[in-house]
Amino acid sequence: MIFDDESGGVFVARRARGRVAAGDFASEEWARARAAHVARYWSGEEAPEGRRAAARALWDEEGLSVRFDCRQDEPPVLSAEPRTDRKTIGLWDRDVCELFITPETGGIGTYFEFEAAPTGEWLDLALRVTPGGRETDWDFRSGMTAAAEHVSAREYRVGMRVPWRAFGRAPRAGERWRCNLFRCVGADPGRGYLAWRPTHTPQPAFHVPEKFGWIEFS
């Protein structure tokens, strides 16, 4: 895998020629998608190759599909009894890939969090930014789906599919929304908190909307 990030803060989502489900890892449409690389810690420090991931996005009239290709040079942190029939609260405490996204382009008041794990577990949340901190809608139901595929002992893929109804509307071609991409990997005390657009906080933190980059629907 090549992880040099030439995105310039823009995660390009290509218009797919048909619907691509969360588990359609072999779809030829992915060859048209440009990678954004989750290759640095939240602090901006470069992460080792064995913890990095590459994300790609496709969209159509019904929803958004995102695929993460992950390296894993250490034992994975997984649930002993994964449940895929419902959202898993606390999924961020294990190995997981994450998409934070909002249609808002100015001051961000609301954004959405989607997670998918190598077990196929998933999580969707809606978050509101308030003067007193963020408020989380734990009962948010986006209709997302997730899937996972193990490629080798050191590589796996996770996919997620989110319908546009989760956001209240679909984008137009050429439109940009705000987003960030993250990966949690490894066990404490050497746990890795990786970000496509580093948040540069004193301690690991992903919920920093002002550091979001852009997703462009081409």
Q: Which residues of 106-143 are buried (b: 16+ CB within 10 A; e: fewer)?
A: eebebbbbbbbbbbbbbbbbbbebeeeeeeeeeebebe
Rounded to two decimals, what is the model's pTM?
0.95
CA distance 147 to 78: 15
pLDDT at 6 > cutoff 70: no
In a domain? residue 105: yes
Query: For position 117, what pLDDT does the model report?
Result: 98
Which pLDDT does position 20 carry in this prediction?
98
**Cα–Cα dist 31/205, whole Å:** 32
> Is 24 part of any domain?
no
CA 37 – CA 140 distance, rounded (Å): 28
Q: How far apart are CA 45 and CA 217, in angstroms?
A: 29
Residue 154: partners with Cβ closer than 8 Å, 6 or more residues away: 50, 71, 72, 73
Could you tell me the residue range of the domain that residue 183 belongs to?
Answer: 36-217
103, 102, 7: which is closest to 54 by C-alpha? 7
Find the radius of gyration of the CA atoms of the chain.
16
> What single DSSP character describes residue 92?
G
In a domain, 2, yes or no: no
The answer to whether residue 153 sits within a structural domain is: yes
Please check the confidence at residue 3 and state whether its pLDDT lies above 50: no
User: How much is the average pLDDT of 165-187?
Assistant: 97
Q: What is the pLDDT of residue 188?
A: 79
Domain assignment of residue 53, yes or no: yes
Round to whole Å and give the CA distance between 212 and 86: 28
The domain tally of the chain equals 1
pLDDT in tens, 25-34: 999 999 999 9
Give residue 96's Cα distance to chain centre: 9
* pLDDT confidence bin for 72, thresholds 50/70/90: very high
- Domain membership of residue 9 (yes or no) is no
- The residues, ordered by sequence, that sit 6+ positions from 165 with a Cβ below 8 Å of its Cβ are 142, 143
CATH number at residue 208: 2.60.40.1190
Cα–Cα distance measured from residue 119 to residue 83, given in angstroms and rounded to the nearest whole number: 9
Question: Can you give the pLDDT at residue 7?
Answer: 57
Asked whether the predicted pLDDT for residue 50 surpasses 60, the reply is yes
